[in-house]
Amino acid sequence: MGYATFLSLIIIIIYVITILKKGEKMSKLIKVISLAIVGLFSTLLVANTVFANEVNVFSARHYDSDVQLYEKFTAKNGIKVNVVSGKDKALQKRIKEEGKDSKADIYITADAGRLGAFQAEGMFQKGASSAALKKVVPANFRSPYWVGIAKRARIIYYNPKTVNPSWNMSYENLADPKYKGRVVIRKSSNIYNQSLVASLIKNNGEKNTAAWAKGMVNNFARKPTGNDRAQILAVAAGEADWAVANTYYLALMLSGKKGAEQQAAAKKVMPFFPNQDGRGTHMNISGGGILKHAPNKANAVKLLEFLLTPEAQQHIVNNTFEYPMIPGVKANKLIAQFGLDFKQDLKTKVSNYGKLQAKALKVMNEAGW
Ligand code: FE
C-alpha cells in the first residue's frame, strides 16, 4: 500500500467513526464538512489505486536477465514494472484484441522488422523519441514510434579448414555459383532473414535482389531448416562451408550455456563481417515502442530512457551478447573477441526492414527459398 493510500484510509475511518458516534449532536454545518472530507479522501484513495505508479511491459524477449534489469529500474525510480512475456504473435494478438482496454505500455521485441510491421498497423504512439533518447540512439536505429535498445549483426560464418574469405566478401557474394551446394541459412519465414533481404532490396533494388535470392537457393547445401545455431552447427559438421546467423548465437554457444557439444562446435567455425568495402555489415536491433493506448506513458518513457543508460546497457550486453546501443559501454568479451572495429551499416535505416518486409518475403518465396 502506498503512503497516500494509507493516509487516506486512516482519515476516512476516523471521520466515519466520528460521524457515527456524535452524529445526533453535530451541527448541520459540521456534518456537511465531515462528509465532504470523507468524500475527498475516498476519491484520493480510488485515484491512488487506479493510477498506481507502475509500467506494464509486454516483452517477447526470452531473457530472465531482463527481469533483473526491471528490478534495478524500480529500485531507482519507485515505479513498479509488471512484465507479461510471451511469443511475438501471441503478445501482438492480445494487444490488438484488448484495444483501448489494453494495460500494455511498452512492447519490447527483437528485430526492427517486427517493430516496423506492428507500427504499420498503427499500434504505437509517438513517444519513443524523447530528447534524451534522440541524444543517445543514432537516427538509423530509431523511429518516432520505437527505439533500438541493443544491436546485433547478421553475419557470415565459415569453415576455416575449407574456405578463406577475402576481406571484402559480401552477402551478395554468397550467391556466386562457385559456392553451389555449400551455403546454409534458415527459412524465408524467419524475421532476421526478411530484414536482411529487405536491406538488400533497399540497397540493390528488387530485381537484383530477386536474382541474388535465386543464386542463394542454388547454393543451398540443404533445404532451409533449424534456427540460427543450427546453421553454425552445419558448418562445424562440414555439411556446408558458409552459414548466415546473428552474432550473439556464436557467443552463446561459446559460453557453454547451450552445452559442451555446441561449445566445441562453435570453436570450429569462424565469424566473418561482410561488406567491409561497401555499406558495412547488416545491423539489426532489439527495441521497444510505447503502445497507442498506454495507460502509463510518462513511466514508459522513463523506462525506455533507463534502458539506454550505461548501467542498463552493460547489464543487457553481458547477458544477451548483443552490442551496446550507446558509446562507452563494453561488449561482452565473448563477442568482443570477434573484433569490434568492423564497419557497421549505419546508412540503411532499420525502419526500412518493416517497410520492405512484404517485398523481401515475396522475393525469397519466388526463388523457392
Ligand atoms: Fe535471436
Q: Who has greater pLDDT, 292 or 21? A: 292
Asked whether this chain's domains 56-151+284-331 and 153-281+354-366 adopt the same fold, the reply is yes
Q: What nine digits make up the cell of 219?
A: 547454393
What's the CA-to-centroid distance between 246 and ligand 1, angstroms? 7
The predicted pLDDT at position 187 comes to: 98
Interval between CA 287 and ligand 1 midpoint (Å): 13
Residue-level pLDDT at 27: 75
> What local confidence, expressed as pLDDT, does residue 1 receive?
42
Calculate how far, in angstroms, residue 128's C-alpha sits from the geometric centre of ligand 1. 23
| Mean pLDDT calculated for residue range 23-39 | 71
How far does the centroid of ligand 1 lie from the alpha carbon of residue 32, in Å? 64
**8 Å CB contact between 286 and 123:** no
pLDDT value of position 2: 45
Distance from residue 357's CA to the centre of ligand 1 (Å): 18
Q: Compute, in angstroms, the gap from residue 313 CA to the centroid of ligand 1.
A: 18
Ligand 1 mean position to 51 CA, how many Å?
35
Asked if 137 and 313 count as a contact pair (C-beta separation under 8 A), the reply is no
What does the pLDDT look like over 42-71, one tens digit per residue?
A: 666 665 555 579 999 999 987 777 888 999
CA atoms of 243 and 29, how far apart (whole Å): 83
Give per-residue pLDDT as tens, 160-201: 999 999 999 999 999 999 999 999 999 999 999 999 999 999
The pLDDT of residue 29 is 76
Q: How far away, in angstroms, is 163 Cα from ligand 1 center? A: 26
| pLDDT above 80 (res 25) | no
Of residues 328 and 24, more confidently modeled? 328
Give residues with Cβ within 8 angstroms of 243, minimum separation 6.
Answer: 156, 157, 158, 183, 184, 185, 231, 232, 234, 235, 269
pLDDT of residue 38: 67
How far apart are the CA of 333 and the centre of ligand 1, in A? 19
Contact 241, 222 (CB under 8 A): no
Q: Taking residues 288-314, what's their average pLDDT?
A: 97
CA of 189 to the centre of ligand 1 (A): 14
**Ligand 1 centroid, distance to 45 Cα (angstroms):** 44
SS3 state at 291:
strand
- CA 85 – ligand 1 centroid, Å: 15
Distance 136 CA to ligand 1 centre (A): 24
For the purposes of burial, counting CB atoms within 10 Å of the CB of 72, is it exposed (0-12), middle (13-18) or buried (19 or more)?
middle
Query: What pLDDT score was predicted for residue 8?
Result: 60
CA 43 / ligand 1 centre spacing (Å): 47
- C-alpha 151 – ligand 1 centre gap (Å): 11
Quickly state the pLDDT bin for 21 (edges 50, 70, 90).
Answer: confident
Q: Output the nine-digit C-alpha cell for 348.
A: 540503411
Residue spans per domain, the chain: 3-46, 56-151+284-331, 153-281+354-366
How much distance in Å is there from the Cα of 78 to the middle of ligand 1? Answer: 31
279 CA to centre of ligand 1 in angstroms: 23
Between these two residues, 40 and 102, which has the higher pLDDT value? 102
Please, are residues 81 and 74 in contact by the beta-carbon 8 Å criterion?
yes
- The Å distance, Cα 34 to ligand 1 centre, comes to 61
Please provide residue 158's backbone torsions phi and psi, each rounded to the nearest 5 degrees. -140, 165
Determine the pLDDT at residue 35.
73
Ligand 1 mean position to 88 CA, how many Å? 12
- For residue 330, give the DSSP letter: P
Q: Which fold has domain 153-281+354-366?
A: D-Maltodextrin-Binding Protein; domain 2 (3.40.190)
What is the Å distance from ligand 1's center to 247 Cα? 9
Indicate if the pLDDT at residue 154 is higher than 90. yes
What is the CA(336)–ligand 1 centre distance, in A?
Answer: 18
pLDDT for the residue numbered 66: 81
Q: DSSP per residue over 82-110, as a string?
A: EEEE--HHHHHHHHHHHGGG----EEEEE
Q: What is the pLDDT of residues 127-143, one digit of tens each?
A: 888 899 999 999 999 99
pLDDT at residue 74, rounded to an integer: 97
- C-beta of residue 147 within 8 angstroms of C-beta of residue 198: no
Distance 155 CA to ligand 1 centre (A): 13
pLDDT at 149 over 90: yes
Other Cβ atoms less than 10 A from the Cβ of 85: the count is 17
Distance 354 CA to ligand 1 centre (A): 17
Tens digits of residue pLDDT in 319-332: 999 999 999 999 99
The confidence score (pLDDT) of residue 16 equals 65
Distance, CA 292 to ligand 1 centroid (Å)?
Answer: 26
User: Cα 176 vs. chain centroid, distance in angstroms?
Assistant: 33
Could you tell me which CATH number the domain at 56-151+284-331 has? Answer: 3.40.190.10
Quick one: average pLDDT of 8-35? 69
Identify which has the larger pLDDT, 35 or 181. 181
Q: What is the pLDDT of residues 63-120, one digit of tens each?
A: 777 888 999 999 999 999 999 999 999 999 999 999 999 999 999 999 999 999 999 9
CA of 168 to the centre of ligand 1 (A): 26
The CA 25 to ligand 1 mean position distance, Å, reads 73
